[in-house]
A and B are shown apart, each in its own frame.
Chain A
Amino acid sequence: MSTQPTGFKSWLLTTDHKKIGVMYLVTSLVFFVVGLLLAFIMRTEQLDITKKVIIDADLYNTAFTIHGAAMVLFWMIPVLLGFLANYMIPLMIGAHDVAFPRLNALSFWLYVGAGLIAVMALILPGRLDTGWTGYPPYSIVGPANTAFYVFAVHLLGASSIAGAVNFITTIITLRAPGMTWGRLNLTVWGLFGGFIIQLVGVPVLAAAVTLLLFDKYLGTSFYDGTKGGSPILYEHLFWFYAHPAVYVVALPVFGIVSDIISTFSRKRIYGYTSMAIAIMIITVVGFETWVHHLYVAGTLNWTRVVFMWGTIAIGVPTGIKTFNWLATLHKGSIDLKTPMLHALGFISLFTIGGVTGIANGLLGFDIQVHDTHWVVAHFHYVLAISMSMLCMGAIYYWFPKFTGKMYNEKLGKTAFWITLIGAMIAFLPQFHLGYDGIPRRYWKLPSQYAGEMRIAVIFSYITIAGFLMTLYNFVHSAIKGEKAPANPWNSLSLEWQIPSPPPFYNFEQIPTITDGPYEYGKPADTTVKAH
């Protein structure tokens, strides 16, 4: 028997998965704002692509370096594998907490430490300007303080591995009686796949950057071509993790989209088993794609062909998912609430990104567009904006659950449309630039693209404005929103069957599960029976 601790100390020393989840959410949103600010600065610099507008070339390099790192490593992965996994996995599988509550707290604080180092890399002398990839030899001989990069990766890596061990153990051992693998929310399946990739991939990235540190400070020659080493080795080790990192974000996103679409169509998710299998296939095949980042680096020819097929093969399970979503919508009782709009907006943006991704994976085509604006456009559609948008949709969807308040529906929908309209156009011109072979990451560009880039800038401002409205909605509603009912969406999923916000121990008694989370339309219309 115990009461819930309160006050400042209760956050600082907490081991409660819900509080840790909320701290992850707030921290990751801070980094999202940092990333947005840097995007705003870079886009403003592109208002005139022939001469300096507000920042010089060196600062521009730092801006895109920290923008990329903040958005992928400190926003998208933590909001999904930090916030969402923490808050929702115990509720969805019917557990009091995660397997190792203290380890969970350690994961969070290590993430904060890594974030502090990332901020140092932005403002202290020796600012990082290597790109988020940190390729040698530049990262070794250049002016940037590579140690920032290496240690941010180390702390974040330790955090991720601890999190992966914790949540994989939790999902395997702490499922409530009757919560079979076939009754897990697809969100849990997606997170499970994401954690497996983190578990296997992050150590390799950690090794890659450690060797970078040794090369810079201890005089080893792993990546130094003049002493028998090879910078290509770094690219292999880096992308072994950094490409699957995309799926770390994508798999939970796929799960969330499935949950949202099923709830707001009031229909059973179409092809549950194929969805779960597709997630696990992507988890595995995701590690057979990384060489497509090295198509023009001078790797062996047969590896380029093998990995081209691996890359294209990813399209198959991804396509299965997209068609399953459409089939779920078909003849559903669709309710276009804000989270649902985000899920549908995600599918449309993601399809543009996905189709261009297949083209990008083709060896012959990629040689033309490698490291050009085409790639920038592609991954902002497939990953950056579409999945950031979906993360917002996820926060909207579970907002009543974790805050106990309702968000503002009207503002939510308005913000959604503004974001979507901006996102649809903001990166479209860059497909054209890249197709012409204009390299990415250049401070200034040939003047004939001035008009197109100005369109891109204006629509990126619109996207940023949309996101800021969404953030305002979150903050305002968390403070002043109406009180939320336990289950505003009439969802059958387990996390909605307890009060909002959930009581300290989640479930008075561990529930016994009798049916899956998507069984809409059955006579009983309940899946949970407490015993």
Chain B
Amino acid sequence: MENVMHGGTKAVHHQVELSVWPLITAVGAFLIPISFMTAFSWGLSSVGLVLAGVAVVVLIVGLFGWLNEVHAKKEDAGLSKLAIIVFIVSEVALFGGLFGGYLYAMLFTDLWPPANTPEGVPPIGLAVLMTIFLLSSSFTIHNAEEKLAHGDMGGFKGWLVMTTILGALFMAFMAYEWHELIAEKNFTVRTNEYGTFFYTITGFHGSHVIVGLLMQIFCMILAAGAKIGKNRQTMVKVTGLYWHFVDIVWLLVVSLIYVVPYLKAGQ
């Protein structure tokens, strides 16, 4: 085949020819359902558990190798910033579906939360604390971006670490809250519709916080390797946008899953 010139003046797009990472990532993603079905559908719990471990390792290796390859080749056309906004639209739809289902259940139920919900649920005090952590982390990551834009790498790293600590605190308190509710108050997914939605929606949100934290950690690794700078900000901007989104979703979680039932229960 002939050699063809890269042409054009606008948006020189570097074509990747071969990459092993998409296939590895897909194999990891494929093994997750296989491990689940091995354990739950075919009754081989231990084999399923081992498979799940393998799946997670393969998936992480695939994604890490992928991101590493992208940054090693210095491909930074800046397209990811638009892509993450498009992706966030789909995330909005995901949470829209979940909240839609929640509102459907709430509006078609006479008493919300239902009568057998334990006293002290939802735990509003903890929710306020968690809101403070997450809201302030949106400001810290914004500061990190500002510092990076001005080339202040020290300030950037500092604010980024602050963000990650606040996000990790949020997750720690969420874990504590779940533990308290399940162990102390015996409030589980099986208790009633409210329990079903409470754990599902906070769980979905929590999983998104974890993804955001992983992105921040990856930014730190890149920063340590000097692969992030004033001229290469895309990964940080992407992480920032995603983090703000996760934050906004939490405001909805707190209002609809905590405050509304709290006020209704107090009536």
Contacts and interface: CB of A to CB of B under 8 A. Distances in A.
11 contacts: A99-B77, A109-B27, A110-B30, A126-B41, A168-B86, A204-B93, A207-B101, A214-B200, A220-B189, A230-B105, A509-B7
Contact of A228 (B2, B22, B114): B114
A1 B3 contact: yes
Interface residues on B, range: 35 or more
Nearest to B13: A96
Given A177-B9, A503-B1, 18 more contacts: A10-B18, A99-B79, A105-B23, A106-B25, A161-B87, A164-B86, A164-B90, A173-B82, A174-B11, A204-B94, A204-B97, A207-B101, A214-B189, A220-B196, A222-B196, A230-B104, A230-B108, A236-B104
B226 interface: no
Contacts of A161: 87, 90
A139 to B, nearest CB: 14
A164 B196 CA distance: 31
Interface of A: 1-5, 9-10, 12-16, 95-97, 99-103, 105-106, 109-110, 112-113, 116-117, 126, 145, 147-148, 151, 154-155, 158, 161, 164-166, 168-169, 172-174, 176-177, 199-204, 206-208, 211, 214, 217-222, 227-230, 233, 236-237, 240, 503-505, 507-510
Nearest to B17: A5
B16 interface: yes
A504 B200 contact: no
Q: Is the interface of A mostly helix, strand, loop or mixed?
A: helix
B104 A510 contact: no
B10 interface: yes
A221 B94 contact: no
B82 A172 contact: yes
Interface in B78-136: 79, 82-83, 86-87, 89-91, 93-94, 96-98, 100-101, 104-105, 108-109, 114
Interface stretch (B32-40, B169-177, B178-186, B213-221): B32-40
Nearest to A199: B90
Contact of B97 (A9, A208, A504): A208
B188 to A, nearest CB: 8
A222 B1 contact: no
B6 interface: yes
Nearest to B189: A220
Contacts of B7: 507-510
Nearest first, the 10 closest Cβ-Cβ pairs linking A and B are A509-B7, A510-B8, A109-B26, A151-B33, A203-B94, A204-B97, A105-B22, A113-B30, A505-B4, A4-B1
A507 B15 CA distance: 13
A169 B22 contact: no
Contacts of A109: 22-23, 25-27
Nearest to B66: A102
Contact of B22 (A15, A154, A508): A15
Contacts of A214: 189, 196, 200
Nearest to A114: B30
B33 A203 contact: no
Nearest to A145: B41
Contacts of B114: 228
A154 B189 contact: no
B21 interface: yes
Interface string B138-181: 00000000000000000000000000000000000000000000
